[in-house]
Amino acid sequence: MQTPAEKYLIQKVVDALKVAGPLDVPKILNLGAGKSIVIEESVAKGNNKFICDRIDVIDQHQSHPSIGRCFIGSIESMPDLKTESYLVAFANYVLEHVADLEKAIVEIKRVLKPGGLLILSLPNPSAPEFIVSKYTPTWFHQFIKGKGRGKEAYETHYAYKSIKDLIRIFQKNNFLMVETKYYPFSYGYLYRFPVINLASKIYDKIIGCLKVKILMGNVCLVFKKQEN
């Protein structure tokens, strides 16, 4: 199930490509790409022209007219990626799996062009569903997700204590905070479970109406690499 933050991430990538201009074919980077090409397919709609390189810790080679090179490696160390190559980098629910966040940020900053955007969809560790996630084993995460393509569960680290903490770390590394969006979406994890799924829908609606951001689990952040 596509999260609200992922949908917003896609929209922000599309917006960035429009700014690039119709004559350019900008390069963008999918960090921790996984097996899914939903984001690339969605961005490509409307005749958006781009080349999207992908990197993941295991071989996740995929074919699509807009996909460029597929690298194997951690975002904490990306020596095969050229410095200042990408207009946009994005990561969809990846940063919670990164053990050394500082190293990852340094590498992301290196490969982005000056003024380039980093767009993230990620969990808010202060939301109840992710407090549970933080203190439960990977097999439990897999049980909640279920089985199927794109539902693989991976070890989490939560190297950032809160969204404010994450923003502070990026700002310390010469990124400007551009935009923050919060969404309640516990239903996205509990929709398979009768009764609980209905309760989660009600909970999401209440939290959304009250605008209690600390309890909203779904977040999209947009950062800009400062120009030298």
pLDDT digits (tens, 9 = 90+) for 66-111: 999 999 999 999 999 999 999 999 999 999 999 999 999 999 999 9
67 by DSSP, 3-state: which?
A: strand
The predicted structure's pLDDT at residue 176: 98
Taking the chain, what is the end-to-end CA distance rounded to the nearest angstrom? 40
Residue 23 pLDDT level (bands cut at 50, 70, 90): low
d(CA 158, CA 167): 14
Task: Give the phi and the psi of residue 125 in degrees, each rounded to 5.
Answer: -65, -10
C-alpha distance from residue 51 to each of 4, 16, 98, 116 (Å): 24, 13, 25, 15
pLDDT digits (tens, 9 = 90+) for 124-160: 999 999 999 888 999 888 888 888 776 788 888 899 9
The predicted structure's pLDDT at residue 19: 81
Question: Domains plus CATH for the chain?
Answer: 4-124+156-186+216-225 (3.40.50.150)
The predicted structure's pLDDT at residue 20: 76
The predicted structure's pLDDT at residue 96: 94
The predicted structure's pLDDT at residue 210: 97
The predicted structure's pLDDT at residue 22: 64
Task: Give the phi and the psi of residue 127 in degrees, each rounded to 5.
Answer: -75, 145
Task: Evaluate whether 52 touches 40 at the Cβ level (below 8 Å).
Answer: yes
149 by DSSP, 3-state: which?
A: coil
Task: Evaluate whether 179 touches 140 at the Cβ level (below 8 Å).
Answer: no
Beta-strand (E) ranges in 7-166?
27-31, 51-56, 67-72, 86-92, 112-123
pLDDT digits (tens, 9 = 90+) for 164-195: 999 999 999 999 999 999 999 999 999 999 99
177: which strand partners?
A: 223
The predicted structure's pLDDT at residue 147: 81
pLDDT digits (tens, 9 = 90+) for 211-225: 999 999 999 999 999
The predicted structure's pLDDT at residue 172: 96
